[in-house]
Amino acid sequence: MFILVQAHQFDKFSHLIDQSFVLRKRVFADRLGWKVAVSGEMEKDLYDALNPAYLFWCDDEGKRLYGSVRLMPTTGPTLLYDVFWKTFPNSCDLVAPTIWEGTRMCIDEDAIGRDMPGLRPDRAFCQLLLALCEVALDHGIESLVSNYEPRVKRLYERAGAELEELGRATGYGRFPVCCGIFEVSARILMQMRTKLQVAEPLYQRSHPTRQQKSQPTALGAMLSELRQADISDTQSIQPDPVQSRSLVMASWPSPGSSTINP
C-alpha cells in the first residue's frame, strides 16, 4: 500500500522513516556514490528536519518498506535551489505554492523481489511514480520538480509521465544530474493509468476527504496557506524569493536498491 506520512504522524510511522533512511544510504551513498550526509547505516540531511511529507510504499501491515519519496514545497528550502542550482538556468522560476519538490525517490529491489517476485524493478519504479502523481493531484499540487539521472528518463516515459527537462550538470556523483518539471493533472493521471494498465487507485487517503472541509489534512492546509500568501504577495511589494521561501517553511507545522531521483 501507499501512504502519505506528515509531520504529526512521524512518531506513528518512525519505523518506516528509519527504513527509508537506511534505503537511501544504500542507494545514494553506497551505490551511486553521492556525497550525502551519512550517519551509521542511515542517510538523512537537514531537509529531513524541516518536517517534509513522505510517500511510503509498504506492505499491507505497514511494517516493511518497498519505496519512498520526500516531498517539500518550493516556497521553503529545497535541494533544488540550495544544492542542484546548477542543473537549471537562472531564467527558470520554480518557486510557487503549487510546485513541490520530489527528492530521494528510491525503491528496494531486494524487498520487492522477496515479497513480489513477479514484479520487475522497472515496473515497480513506474508504480511508485503513478502513486506520486495520485498523491500530488489529491493534495492540490500542480507541478513536481525533481533531479534525476539521464538514464531514468526512459522510466518516466514508460510510465506515461510528461516532463520538461530544464537542464543538467555534472559534479554531483558518477553520472550527470538533470532537472525536470512534471505536470500533475487528471489528464496525466489517466494517461499513466492507461499506459501502465492500472484501473484502481494505488493511493488511498487515510484522512478525511475534501468534502469534510472542517477537517483538512495538514498538507492541504499548507497548500491553502501558501496560495493565500502568494495572492497577498502579488498585491504588495514582491519579496526576495529566497527569503520568502525560508519564511514560509519556518511557519510550516510542525541494488539491492535502485533510484529514480535524488
Question: Which of 12, 22, 72 lies closest to 48, judged by CA?
Answer: 72
Please determine, for residue 89, whether its predicted confidence score (pLDDT) is greater than 70. yes
Between 90 and 162, the higher pLDDT residue: 162
From CA 169, how far away is CA 87, in angstroms rounded? 5
What pLDDT, on the 0 to 100 scale, is given for residue 172?
Answer: 83
Q: Which of 83-97, 171-185, 213-227 has the lowest mean pLDDT?
A: 213-227
Taking CA 48 as the corner, what is the angle to CA 89 and CA 250, rounded to the nearest 5 degrees? 75
Mean pLDDT lowest among 11-20, 90-99, 184-193: 90-99
Query: Any idea what DSSP says for residue 175?
Result: S
pLDDT at residue 58, as a whole number: 98
Which of the four pLDDT bands, split at 50, 70 and 90, describes residue 221?
Answer: low
pLDDT, average across residues 182-205: 96
User: Which position has the higher pLDDT, 235 or 12?
Assistant: 12
Average pLDDT, the chain: 85
Confidence of residue 3 (pLDDT cuts 50, 70, 90): very high
pLDDT at 207: 55
Domains of the chain: 2-233+246-261 (3.40.630.30)
Model pLDDT, residue 216: 55
pLDDT tens-digit profile of 98-134? 999 999 999 999 999 999 999 999 999 999 999 999 9
* Residue that wins the pLDDT comparison between 243 and 206: 206
What count of other Cβ atoms lies within 10 Å of the Cβ of residue 176? 14
Position 1, amino acid: M
Q: Looking at residue 228, what is its pLDDT?
A: 65
Question: What integer pLDDT is reported at residue 32 of this predicted model?
Answer: 82
Nearest to 4 by CA among 110, 167, 154, 139: 139
Model pTM score: 0.79
